[in-house]
Amino acid sequence: MIVVSEIQELKNIITDWKKAGLSIGFCPTMGSLHAGHLDLVERSKKETNKTIVSIFVNPTQFNDPKDFENYPINTNADLKLCEEKGVDLVFLPDVKTMYPETKTPILLSIPELQKHLCGRTRPGHFEGVLQIVSKLFHLTEPNKAFFGLKDYQQFRVISAMVKNLNFPLEVVGVPTRREEDGLAMSSRNVRLTEKHRETANLIPRMFALANKTILGGERDIHLLKEILRDFLLTGASVRIDYLEVVDPENLQPKEKLEGEVLLALAVFVGEVRLIDNQIISIQN
Ligand code: AMP
C-alpha cells in the first residue's frame, strides 16, 4: 500500500495508473475508520482497479470549532485497516497542503438542497464539504467515488455538484453499516460515554417506531413527528437538532405521508451529535 501526503507525488501515481488504463475508485474519509468506511472500500475494490482512501479532517466543514478539536484521530490504526483491506493508496495530506493561503477563496453551494436538515442547522458545513470534495476529485481523478448513505444529504449534494459541474465520474451511494443494536456506525460514537451509548440506542428504536406507526395507518406528519420526538426525549441526555420528513430527491419538506419519504434526524446525546436517516415507502 502506498501512503502519500504530497500533491505532486499523488499526481505522478495517478498519471501512471491512467496511462496503464486502470480505473480509479475513491473513498474520501476523515479517518477513525470503522466497518462503515470499509464497506466503501470493499465496493470500490469490486468496481474499480485501484482504490484510493483519503484521510483528512477537513477544517472548513466544521461549523463548531469544539467539534473539530474533539474529532477523533487514529492514523496508525487507520493505515493498518486500509492495508488489511487491500487499499492501493492512502492520501494523507495536511491542512497547509489542502489549503494553501489564498486571497480569493471560492464558495461552492447548492442552496436548494441545503435549505433543510444539516444544511439548515450547520451553516457553512456543505460549502466546506463541496470545497474539499471537489479539490480531492481533481487530485485523485476517480472514475467512481463512494459515499455513505448515512450522510444522505451529503450524498445528494455531492451527486448534484458532480452532475451540474460535469465532473467526469460516477457517485455511488453505499448503505449504512450499523452496530448490533442498530445504531449507525460513526467515528463520533467513540466519544459517547457508556451511559450515552446506551441512550443512543433510542435512535434505531425511533426508526422502528416510525415504521410501526406508519404501518398502523398514521398519515399525519405533525403527529408522527410529535410521537417520535416524545420517544427520543425519554432519553434525559437527548437534545434534538432536527427531525424532518423530506422528499428523498429534492430534500424539501413533505406535506403528506405518501410515496417515498426520507425520515432524517440529528440529535445530540450528551455532547455528541449523531445523524441517521431512513427512506420509507408508504403504501396508501
Ligand atoms: P467520514 O469519515 O465520517 O467523513 O465518512 C467518510 C465516508 O464514510 C462518508 O461517505 C460517509 O457517509 C461514510 N460513512 C460513515 N459512516 C458510515 C456508515 N455507518 N455506513 C456507511 N458509510 C458510512
Atom of ligand 1 nearest to the CA of 148: 12
Three-class secondary structure assignment of 6-55: CHHHHHHHHHHHHHCCCCEEEEEECCCCCHHHHHHHHHHHHHCCEEEEEE
Domain spanning 187-277, CATH architecture:
2-Layer Sandwich (3.30)
Look at the pTM and tell me if it is higher than 0.95.
Answer: yes
In this structure, the number of other CB atoms found within 10 A of the CB of residue 101 comes to: 6
Give the residue among 155, 113, 127, 157 at the shortest CA–CA distance from 246. 113
261 close to ligand 1 (CB < 6 Angstrom): no
Cβ contacts of 163 within 8 Å, gap of 6 or more: none
Residue identifier of the C-alpha nearest atom 5 of ligand 1: 29
What is the average per-residue pLDDT within 94-113?
94
Report the first-to-last Cα separation within the chain, whole angstroms: 52
**194 band by pLDDT with thresholds 50, 70 and 90:** very high
C-alpha cell of residue 74 = 487514529
pLDDT at 35: 98
pLDDT tens digits, 130-157? 999 999 999 999 999 999 999 999 999 9
What is the average per-residue pLDDT within 117-127?
97
pLDDT at 157: 98
pLDDT at 105: 87
Residues constituting the chain = 284
The CATH superfamily assigned to 2-174 is: HUPs (3.40.50.620)
> Percentage of the chain surpassing pLDDT 90?
98
Residue identifier of the C-alpha nearest atom 12 of ligand 1: 148
Give the residue among 212, 206, 213 at the shortest CA–CA distance from 232. 206
What is the chain's mean pLDDT, rounded? 97
**Above 90 in pLDDT, residue 195?**
yes
> Percentage of the chain surpassing pLDDT 70?
100
Residue identifier of the C-alpha nearest atom 11 of ligand 1: 148
Helix (H) / strand (E) element for 185: namely none
**3 band by pLDDT with thresholds 50, 70 and 90:** very high
Give the CA distances from residue 30 to residues 4, 55, 129, 209, in Å, rounded to whole numbers and listed in that order: 16, 5, 11, 32
151 close to ligand 1 (CB < 6 Angstrom): yes
Longest dimension (CA), the chain: 59
What is the average per-residue pLDDT within 1-8?
98
Atom of ligand 1 nearest to the CA of 178: 19
**Above 80 in pLDDT, residue 284?**
no
Give the residue among 258, 257, 275 at the shortest CA–CA distance from 266. 275
pLDDT at 103: 86
- Give one word for 32, left, alpha or beta, with left for phi > 0 and alpha for psi -120 to 50: left
41 close to ligand 1 (CB < 6 Angstrom): no
Same CATH topology for 2-174 and 187-277: the answer is no
What is the average per-residue pLDDT within 155-162?
98
Give the residue numbers marked as catalytic. Answer: 37
pLDDT tens digits, 27-43? 999 999 999 999 999 99
pLDDT at 102: 87
CA gap 155, 231 in Å, rounded: 28
Domain map (residue ranges) of the chain: 2-174, 187-277
pLDDT tens digits, 176-189? 999 999 999 999 99
C-alpha 83: how far from its chain's center? Answer: 22
Instruction: Please choose from 34, 150, 152, 156 the residue to mutate so as to test ligand 1's pocket, defined by most ligand atoms within 8 A of CB.
Output: 150
Give the CA distances from residue 198 to residues 62, 142, 231, 245, 282, in Å, rounded to whole numbers and listed in that order: 26, 39, 15, 25, 30
Residue identifier of the C-alpha nearest atom 6 of ligand 1: 29
Give the residue among 151, 162, 141, 175 at the shortest CA–CA distance from 61. 151
44 close to ligand 1 (CB < 6 Angstrom): no
CA 107 to centroid of ligand 1, rounded, Å: 24
pLDDT tens digits, 258-271? 999 999 999 999 99
Give the CA distances from residue 259 to residues 145, 217, 226, in Å, rounded to whole numbers and listed in that order: 29, 14, 21
